[in-house]
Amino acid sequence: MAVLVINYMDEVKKTIKKVLKAMGVEDADIEIKKDNMVKEKEVLVADIDMPFRDAKQFLNEDGEGITALQHILRRMLHKEDPVLPLLTIDINRHRKEREKELAELAVKAAQKVRRTKKPVMLKSMPAYERRFIHMKLAEQPDIVTESTGEEPERRIVVRLYP
Protein backbone atom coordinates (compact mmCIF):
# COMPACT_ATOMS: atom_id res chain seq x y z
CA MET A 1 0.00 0.00 0.00
CA ALA A 2 2.82 2.46 0.82
CA VAL A 3 4.27 2.09 -2.69
CA LEU A 4 0.89 2.90 -4.22
CA VAL A 5 0.56 6.03 -2.07
CA ILE A 6 4.01 7.21 -3.17
CA ASN A 7 3.07 6.62 -6.81
CA TYR A 8 -0.16 8.58 -6.28
CA MET A 9 1.85 11.39 -4.72
CA ASP A 10 4.23 11.52 -7.68
CA GLU A 11 1.33 11.53 -10.14
CA VAL A 12 -0.50 14.25 -8.22
CA LYS A 13 2.62 16.40 -8.05
CA LYS A 14 3.23 16.06 -11.81
CA THR A 15 -0.37 16.97 -12.59
CA ILE A 16 -0.29 20.03 -10.33
CA LYS A 17 2.97 21.21 -11.92
CA LYS A 18 1.46 20.75 -15.40
CA VAL A 19 -1.70 22.73 -14.56
CA LEU A 20 0.21 25.52 -12.82
CA LYS A 21 2.63 25.78 -15.74
CA ALA A 22 -0.32 26.11 -18.13
CA MET A 23 -1.51 28.98 -15.93
CA GLY A 24 1.86 30.70 -16.13
CA VAL A 25 3.12 29.62 -12.70
CA GLU A 26 6.63 28.29 -13.15
CA ASP A 27 8.10 28.85 -9.68
CA ALA A 28 6.11 26.68 -7.27
CA ASP A 29 7.29 24.32 -4.54
CA ILE A 30 4.86 21.45 -4.06
CA GLU A 31 4.82 19.05 -1.13
CA ILE A 32 2.38 16.14 -1.17
CA LYS A 33 1.56 14.34 2.06
CA LYS A 34 -1.12 12.12 3.50
CA ASP A 35 -3.71 13.85 5.69
CA ASN A 36 -3.71 12.03 9.01
CA MET A 37 -6.68 14.03 10.33
CA VAL A 38 -9.18 12.26 8.05
CA LYS A 39 -9.73 8.70 9.22
CA GLU A 40 -12.64 7.54 7.05
CA LYS A 41 -10.84 7.76 3.69
CA GLU A 42 -7.43 8.42 2.23
CA VAL A 43 -6.79 12.11 1.56
CA LEU A 44 -3.70 13.71 0.09
CA VAL A 45 -2.76 17.30 0.87
CA ALA A 46 -0.79 19.39 -1.60
CA ASP A 47 0.97 22.30 0.08
CA ILE A 48 1.97 24.70 -2.67
CA ASP A 49 4.29 27.65 -2.09
CA MET A 50 4.67 30.23 -4.83
CA PRO A 51 5.56 33.91 -5.17
CA PHE A 52 2.75 36.28 -4.23
CA ARG A 53 2.57 37.62 -7.80
CA ASP A 54 1.44 34.14 -8.87
CA ALA A 55 -0.53 33.21 -5.75
CA LYS A 56 -2.77 36.28 -5.79
CA GLN A 57 -4.84 34.81 -8.64
CA PHE A 58 -5.87 31.99 -6.28
CA LEU A 59 -6.15 33.87 -3.00
CA ASN A 60 -9.09 35.95 -1.91
CA GLU A 61 -11.14 36.16 1.26
CA ASP A 62 -13.11 32.98 0.58
CA GLY A 63 -10.32 31.08 -1.15
CA GLU A 64 -12.50 30.58 -4.22
CA GLY A 65 -9.46 30.38 -6.49
CA ILE A 66 -7.96 27.59 -4.40
CA THR A 67 -11.29 25.77 -4.40
CA ALA A 68 -11.59 26.13 -8.20
CA LEU A 69 -8.04 24.88 -8.79
CA GLN A 70 -8.64 21.99 -6.40
CA HIS A 71 -11.83 21.06 -8.27
CA ILE A 72 -10.05 21.10 -11.63
CA LEU A 73 -7.18 18.99 -10.29
CA ARG A 74 -9.53 16.47 -8.69
CA ARG A 75 -11.45 16.08 -11.94
CA MET A 76 -8.28 15.62 -13.96
CA LEU A 77 -6.73 13.14 -11.54
CA HIS A 78 -9.86 11.04 -11.09
CA LYS A 79 -10.49 10.95 -14.82
CA GLU A 80 -7.03 9.40 -15.23
CA ASP A 81 -7.41 7.07 -12.24
CA PRO A 82 -10.73 6.89 -10.33
CA VAL A 83 -9.13 5.15 -7.33
CA LEU A 84 -6.78 8.02 -6.53
CA PRO A 85 -7.22 9.42 -3.01
CA LEU A 86 -9.11 12.64 -2.49
CA LEU A 87 -6.95 15.75 -2.93
CA THR A 88 -6.94 18.94 -0.88
CA ILE A 89 -4.70 21.84 -1.83
CA ASP A 90 -3.37 24.81 0.08
CA ILE A 91 -1.48 27.72 -1.42
CA ASN A 92 0.94 29.74 0.70
CA ARG A 93 -0.73 28.39 3.87
CA HIS A 94 -3.95 30.31 3.09
CA ARG A 95 -6.22 27.45 4.20
CA LYS A 96 -4.21 26.78 7.35
CA GLU A 97 -4.60 30.43 8.34
CA ARG A 98 -8.29 30.34 7.48
CA GLU A 99 -8.73 27.22 9.63
CA LYS A 100 -7.31 29.14 12.61
CA GLU A 101 -9.89 31.88 12.01
CA LEU A 102 -12.67 29.30 11.65
CA ALA A 103 -11.65 27.56 14.88
CA GLU A 104 -11.87 30.89 16.72
CA LEU A 105 -15.24 31.61 15.10
CA ALA A 106 -16.55 28.19 16.15
CA VAL A 107 -15.40 28.62 19.75
CA LYS A 108 -16.91 32.11 19.99
CA ALA A 109 -20.22 30.90 18.52
CA ALA A 110 -20.38 28.03 21.01
CA GLN A 111 -19.61 30.41 23.88
CA LYS A 112 -22.35 32.79 22.75
CA VAL A 113 -24.86 29.93 22.49
CA ARG A 114 -24.01 28.81 26.02
CA ARG A 115 -24.26 32.36 27.34
CA THR A 116 -27.51 33.37 25.61
CA LYS A 117 -29.13 29.91 25.33
CA LYS A 118 -30.15 30.95 21.79
CA PRO A 119 -29.01 29.51 18.45
CA VAL A 120 -26.35 31.40 16.50
CA MET A 121 -26.42 31.49 12.71
CA LEU A 122 -23.03 31.94 11.06
CA LYS A 123 -22.55 33.70 7.73
CA SER A 124 -22.66 31.65 4.56
CA MET A 125 -19.44 29.86 3.71
CA PRO A 126 -18.10 27.20 1.34
CA ALA A 127 -18.68 23.52 2.07
CA TYR A 128 -15.05 22.98 3.11
CA GLU A 129 -15.33 25.67 5.80
CA ARG A 130 -18.71 24.43 7.02
CA ARG A 131 -17.33 20.92 7.36
CA PHE A 132 -14.38 22.24 9.36
CA ILE A 133 -16.71 24.02 11.80
CA HIS A 134 -19.00 20.98 12.11
CA MET A 135 -15.98 18.84 12.98
CA LYS A 136 -14.56 21.41 15.40
CA LEU A 137 -17.82 21.76 17.32
CA ALA A 138 -18.54 18.01 17.28
CA GLU A 139 -15.94 17.89 20.08
CA GLN A 140 -18.34 19.88 22.31
CA PRO A 141 -20.90 17.54 23.96
CA ASP A 142 -23.36 20.34 24.74
CA ILE A 143 -23.34 21.89 21.24
CA VAL A 144 -24.90 20.73 17.96
CA THR A 145 -24.56 22.18 14.48
CA GLU A 146 -26.54 21.90 11.30
CA SER A 147 -26.28 23.38 7.85
CA THR A 148 -29.27 25.23 6.50
CA GLY A 149 -30.17 27.00 3.27
CA GLU A 150 -29.21 26.48 -0.33
CA GLU A 151 -25.84 27.02 -2.01
CA PRO A 152 -24.24 29.50 -2.23
CA GLU A 153 -25.97 30.91 0.86
CA ARG A 154 -25.70 27.73 2.94
CA ARG A 155 -24.92 28.48 6.61
CA ILE A 156 -24.32 26.75 9.91
CA VAL A 157 -26.65 27.09 12.86
CA VAL A 158 -25.00 26.44 16.24
CA ARG A 159 -27.20 25.60 19.22
CA LEU A 160 -27.29 23.82 22.53
CA TYR A 161 -27.74 20.07 22.50
CA PRO A 162 -31.41 19.33 23.19
Check pLDDT > 60 for residue 113.
yes
Give the model's pLDDT for residue 17: 95
pLDDT at 38: 60
Q: Tell whether the model's pLDDT for residue 30 goes beyond 50.
A: yes
What residue spans define the domains of the chain? 2-92, 97-160
Instruction: Indicate the pairing of strand 43-49 with strand 86-91.
Output: parallel
Q: Above pLDDT 70, what percent of the chain?
A: 91
CATH topology of domain 97-160: Ribosomal Protein S8; Chain: A, domain 1 (3.30.1370)
Structure confidence at residue 3 (pLDDT)? 47
What is the rounded CA–CA span in Å between residue 36 and residue 39? 7
CATH of 2-92, one of 3.30.300, 3.40.30, 2.60.40, 3.30.40: 3.30.300
Question: What are 123-161's pLDDT values in tens digits?
Answer: 999 888 999 999 999 999 999 999 999 988 999 999 999
Mean pLDDT to the nearest integer, 93-115: 95
> Residues 2, 10: contact at Cβ < 8 Å?
no
Residue 162's pLDDT band (boundaries 50, 70, 90)? confident
Strand intervals (E) in the chain: 29-34, 43-49, 86-91, 120-121, 143-148, 155-160
Distance CA 106, CA 112 (A): 10
